[in-house]
Amino acid sequence: MASAAGIHSLLTIRLKNEITEDQLKLIKHCFTRKIGAGRIENMDTLDLLNELNNRMIISEGKYYKLRKVFKKVGLEKLNRQLDKAEKRIQEIKSGKANGKNEVKEDLSSSESDEGACGGSEEQTDKSWSGDEILRVAPEAG
């Protein structure tokens, strides 16, 4: 069964691959006051997302502030990935998801969004199943 932490980790990796350097500069500008200019200056996308997680600005299934920033900087298309991950995590936490991957979510961009945020077609066409998530971030057991 996919875990909420696994989906969150996979979402982080997907966003790292989708966000361009120019887009990252805009996103970092929005979080500078919360993190600090000196600290945020040399962060890459993964560092920034981890810092937002460490500061509880985002967390598993809770991406409101990131969604707001994406909208502000013109990255609404990435919000669809946040929405799908959030929905899947809520299903897992509420017990609606089962171990047979009955609930599969395609967290990739839709066909009309291919490559729109700097990702390749290969990245945007992949479907995120529970099995794929477990290969990326296995549950501790």
Task: Identify the three-state secondary structure at position 42.
Answer: coil
89 within some domain: yes
In a domain, 68, yes or no: yes
Instruction: Return the closest-CA partner of residue 110 out of 125, 130, 129.
Output: 125
Q: For 7-26, write each residue's pLDDT tens digit.
A: 999 999 999 999 999 999 99
Over range 113-141, report the average pLDDT.
39
* Model confidence band, residue 95 (pLDDT cutoffs 50, 70, 90): confident
Q: Residue 98: its pLDDT value, please?
A: 57
128 forms bridges with which residues in the sheet?
A: 105
| Number of folded domains that form the chain | 1
Q: What are the DSSP calls for 57-112, one per residue?
A: SSBTTB-HHHHHHHHHTT-HHHHHHHHHHHHHHHHHHHT---TT--S-B--SPPGG
Neighbours of 129 (CB within 10 A): 16
In a domain, 141, yes or no: no
The answer as to whether 33 is a domain residue is yes
Give residue 53's domain range: 4-136
Six token digits for residue 22: 């120019």
Tell me whether residue 128 is in a domain: yes
